[in-house]
Structure 1
Amino acid sequence: MCQLLGMNCNVPTDICFSFEGFSCRGGLTDHHSDGWGIAFFEGRGCRLFLDYQPSATSPIAAFVRQYPIKSTNVIAHIRKATQGEIGLANTHPFRRELWGQYWIFAHNGDLKTLPNLTGKRFQPVGTTDSEHAFCWMLDQLAQRFEDRPHRDELFPYIADLAAQLAERGVFNFMLSNGECLFAHCATHLHYLVRQAPFTVAHLVDEDVSIDFSEVTTPDDRVAVIATQPLTDNEVWTAMRTGEILMFVDGAPHRLPTN
């Protein structure tokens, strides 16, 4: 299947170190070679880079690895196709507008059946189950909330939508509107939070290290979420099957328990 990478921070931060290791998995250290993409929120705007070539050898990926774009919310994806041909239309992440905001979505898994799209506003361009599911989620959100709700209202409803789709197959995903980042685990998803005191991190996929104490301030907080851990000398937390987290300002939030 595919792999996911996300970042949520309290200050704009670049993802070059994490993407360096992650992109190796697109055809070098792993077999996810059917395209890749990455989205960076910058204020109300969003930069989106997509390529149907493997991320390990893509010239666009090489540019992203070397260009320190700073963002508070990032979603990246490397693809191992299960549904839909290889091409830009089927390359994650997908982007749509809702309530005057960009929404970004990427999926790892395989949905055996898909819900009907009842509205005309959100329609898939490609042929993946992933984009169809994204359009359905936004359709449901638009019907439930006429105006943009607070994230605390969004969270339980997105969790409910995720649970409905998870009944149809494997549904690991990341979703962001640039204010927060939602991550849902079906099989494999891990996260860590980097904050003071910062230490040295070493990549799993390349012999590359960075001392974060030299490139951060004591107030910085950065959450990194990935299908599989990207470093071998940090403590990653494995999310549980069916668990959904909302990351805000670099910190994970869980649904309130009754």
Structure 2
Amino acid sequence: MCQLLGMNCNIPTDILFSFEGFHRRGGLTDHHADGWGIAFFEQKGCRVFLDDKPSVESPVAELVRRYPIKSENVIAHIRKATQGKVNLANTHPFMREMWGQYWIFAHNGNLEDFQPETGEYYRPVGTTDSERAFCHLMERLRAKWSQPPELETLFQEVAALAAEIGSKGVFNFMLSNGEVLFAHCSTHLHYIIRRAPFNTAHLVDNDVSVDFATVTTPRDQVAMIATQPLTDNEHWTALSPGELILFRDGAPLLTHKTD
């Protein structure tokens, strides 16, 4: 299945080190070769880069590798197609507007026989189960509230929708509005919190290390979330199947586990 990567932090940070390993999973260290994409939030704006080429061969990935964009929330995705052709319309992450905010979504899994009713506000452009799930989730939230609810109330509703949609199959996903990042696990998802005192990290997918103490400040705090751990000398925490975590300012803020 697909590969997910997310970053949530308390100050704008670049993702170059993690992306150096992650992009290699798109056709080199793994067989996910059906396109890739990444979204960077910058205040209210959002940069989205998509390519239907394997990330290890993509000129767009090469641009991102050399472009130190600083962001507090990032979502990236490497696709292995299960539903829908390999094309840009079916490439994650997907973006929609709600409540005057951009929302970014990426999914790893397969939702069998998932055909929700056509929404009033949100409709898929492509033909993936992932985009259908995103539009359905957004439709339900928009129909329930015309303005953003309290964060804990929103979190509980996303947890309920994740359980509902997840009953149709594997539903690992990440969702962000640029302020917080939701991460939901059906099968495989891991996270690590990097904070002072910082250590040296070594990538699983490439013989590259970085001493974070030399490129951070003592107040920095960064949460990295990935389908599989990106480093082999740090402790990553595995989410449980059915678990939803909301990250803010580089740390878990809310957690829900479906029984």
2:245 is aligned with 1:245: yes
What are the ranges of 5 or more consecutive residues in structure 1 without an aligned counterpart? none
Q: Secondary structure at the match of 1:34?
A: coil
Residues 181 and 248, structure 1, Cα contact 8 Å, conserved in 2: yes
> For residue 87 of structure 1, what is the aligned residue in structure 2?
87
SS at match of 1:6: strand
The one-character-per-residue Cα deviations of 1:70-101 (angstroms, maximum 9, x if unpaired) are: 00000000000000000000000000000000
Aligned to 2:189: 189
Q: List alignment gaps of at least 5 residues for structure 2.
A: none
**1:97 and 2:97 equivalent?**
yes
- Match of residue 208 from structure 1: 208
Q: Given residue 18 of structure 2, which amino acid in structure 1 is its aligned partner? A: S
Q: Tell me whether 114-123 or 47-56 shows the greater mean CA deviation.
A: 114-123
1:170-221 CA distance string (max 9 Å, x none):
0000000001000000000000000000010000000000010011000000
After TM superposition, the structure 1 stretch with the greater mean CA deviation from structure 2, 115-124 or 81-90, is: 115-124
| Alignment-mate amino acid for residue 67 of structure 1 | Y
Which residue pairs with 1:112 in the alignment? 112
> Does the CA-based 8 Å contact 1:245-1:252 persist in structure 2?
yes
What is residue 30 of structure 1 aligned with on the other side?
Answer: 30
Q: What is the TM-score when the length of structure 2 is the normalising length?
A: 0.97
**How far apart, CA to CA, are the structure 2 residues paired with 1:13 and 1:185?**
25
Give the whole-Å Cα distance in 2 for the aligned partners of 1:255 and 1:227: 18
RMSD (Å) for aligned C-alpha atoms: 1.0
Match of 1:156 in 2: 156
Check the 8 A contact 2:243/2:256 in 1, yes or no: no
Number of the residue aligned with 1:133 = 133
After the TM superposition, which parts of structure 1 deviate over 4 Å for at least 4 consecutive aligned residues?
A: none
Asked whether the equivalents of residues 115 and 136 of structure 1 are also in contact (C-alpha less than 8 Å), the reply is: no
SS of the residue 1:61 aligns to: helix
Query: Structure 1: how far apart are the matches of 2:216 and 2:202?
Result: 17
How much has 1:118 moved relative to structure 2? 4.7
1:8 aligned onto 2:4:
no
TM-score normalized with structure 1 length: 0.98
SS in 1 for 2:110: strand
- Kept after mapping to 1: 8 A contact 2:124/2:135: yes
Q: How far did residue 115 of structure 1 move? A: 4.6
Q: Percent identity?
A: 67
Aligned-pair CA distance for 1:256: 6.9
